[in-house]
């Protein structure tokens, strides 16, 4: 259903914009490097914050695994034409790119930041090619290019569970807006730059995504889009066959940049959780030579590598979406709590108060709808995993249970990785 699909793309963008505005208030009022973790800890307490860091320790690497698999899909597809690429090849390439970026972010943050800027420019150029190509074809006015838009809502309407899962996919594509707060502590003038970034970047992404999807629908039928292994590749084969390889390469570049930024921010979360005693102390240590969070990078990349094994993109994004939106709901709930509990807290930017209430309601809809209308074991396991955090929290955090042999293991790993606790006032690895 073309009309519903474009509506969900638009709605996903607007929900992402509302969420980013909520996060802008929290980021300017509480500019700490832990991002959502720090906000939940301040607003809702230690236990919800631990559930967040426990869940994110696994869901964020799961998201990275999904991106790595998608990168491998687009990077290999041009070499196989209409045939699917071998699964083993895609998994090996996904693992290679994961560990390459893990090593890069674990050794030099300056190089990682430079890579991010270059790949951001490249991905905007790729999106522009697809968007402009679609506009040119629409302006041409050929009947076959306009056919999909004549009766956009004429196809079968999806049910509530399908809409919720479609939101997971759409919101996953817009994902990344929550990462901004992880850099608030190192940002120059966050009270101005965070709201400004949110109000310009997110609407720009919404426009780009809509234009790209309209471009796809101008060239391909909905059935062709659904059956295509890599939609941009199929689009390029139809529109620019002589240089079609540019588009899958550009999409792979885009995914590579998104994966790099995700790994770039993951170290901050691990660092903040470890500093608060919610994760092993080793994870917050920095390499003595490069001042980078090497243990955090190794830890998260290892977990992501395990998630590569199932090789199911839909399962990974749904699992990530289920867990991530529960955590987003808690973050927006902490904003509401802080508004009433700490009314005098300095807030350089304040979001319209109904917006966080809408975000909390939307988050719980996205969490509950698939469970109610389409029960799936993956949601049950995800919920069970979150409850499992209590088994760790009560003895090790609340009652501060400690085993001496952990200190010996930490000491040996410190020597092996050449890392030490932060002993300097600034964190050069964050820049």
What was the pLDDT predicted at 313?
A: 58
pLDDT value for 425: 43
Q: Which residue has the higher pLDDT, 200 or 381?
A: 200
* Res. 280 pLDDT band, cuts 50 70 90: confident
Strand partners, 420: 286
Q: Is the dihedral of CA 363, 365, 368, 370 positive or negative?
A: negative
Q: Which DSSP state fits 86?
A: P
* 264 Cβ contact list (under 8 Å, min separation 6): 105, 109, 112, 113, 116
pLDDT at res. 12: 92
pLDDT at 380: 74
Q: Name the pTM for this structure.
A: 0.82
Give the tens place of pLDDT for each residue, 23-43: 999 999 988 877 889 899 999
Q: How far is CA 172 from CA 66, 137, 313, in A?
A: 10, 28, 11
């Amino acid at each position: 259903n073309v009309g519903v699909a474009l509506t969900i793309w638009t709605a996903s963008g607007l929900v992402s914009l509302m969420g980013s505005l909520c996060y802008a208030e929290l980021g300017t009022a509480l500019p700490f490097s832990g991002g959502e973790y720090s906000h939940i800890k301040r607003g809702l307490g230690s236990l919800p914050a631990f559930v967040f860091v426990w869940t994110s320790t696994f869901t964020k690497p799961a998201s990275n695994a999904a991106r790595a698999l998608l990168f491998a899909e687009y990077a290999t597809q041009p070499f196989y034409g209409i045939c699917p690429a071998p699964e083993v090849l895609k998994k090996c390439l996904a693992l290679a790119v994961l560990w390459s970026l893990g090593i890069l972010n674990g050794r030099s943050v300056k190089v990682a930041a430079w890579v991010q800027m270059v790949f951001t420019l490249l991905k905007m150029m790729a999106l522009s090619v697809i968007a402009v190509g679609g506009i040119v074809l629409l302006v041409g006015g050929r009947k076959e290019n306009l056919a999909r838009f004549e009766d956009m809502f004429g196809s079968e309407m999806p049910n509530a569970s399908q809409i919720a899962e479609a939101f997971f996919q759409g919101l996953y594509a817009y994902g990344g807006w929550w990462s901004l707060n992880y850099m608030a502590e190192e940002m120059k003038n966050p009270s101005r730059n965070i709201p400004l970034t949110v109000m310009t970047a997110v609407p720009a992404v919404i426009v780009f995504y809509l234009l790209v999807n309209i471009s796809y629908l101008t060239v391909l039928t909905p059935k062709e889009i659904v059956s295509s292994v890599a939609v941009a590749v199929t689009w390029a084969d139809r529109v620019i066959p002589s240089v079609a390889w540019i588009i899958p390469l550009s999409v792979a570049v885009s995914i590579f940049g998104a994966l790099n930024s995700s790994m770039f921010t993951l170290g901050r979360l691990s660092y903040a959780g470890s500093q608060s005693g919610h994760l092993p102390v080793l994870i917050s240590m920095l390499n003595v030579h490069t001042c980078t969070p090497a243990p955090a990078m190794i830890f998260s990349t290892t977990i992501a590598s395990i998630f590569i094994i199932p090789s199911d993109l839909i399962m990974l994004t749904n699992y990530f979406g289920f867990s991530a939106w529960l955590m987003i709901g808690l973050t927006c709930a902490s904003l509401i709590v802080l508004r009433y509990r700490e009314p005098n807290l300095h807030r350089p930017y304040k979001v319209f108060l109904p917006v966080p209430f809408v975000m909390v309601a939307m988050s719980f809809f996205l969490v509950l709808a698939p469970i109610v209308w389409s029960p799936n074991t993956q949601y049950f396991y995800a919920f069970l995993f979150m409850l499992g955090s209590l088994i760790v929290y009560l003895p090790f955090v609340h009652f501060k249970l400690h085993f001496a042999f952990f200190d010996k293991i930490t000491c040996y790993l410190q020597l092996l990785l050449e890392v030490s606790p932060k002993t300097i006032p600034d964190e050069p690895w964050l820049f």
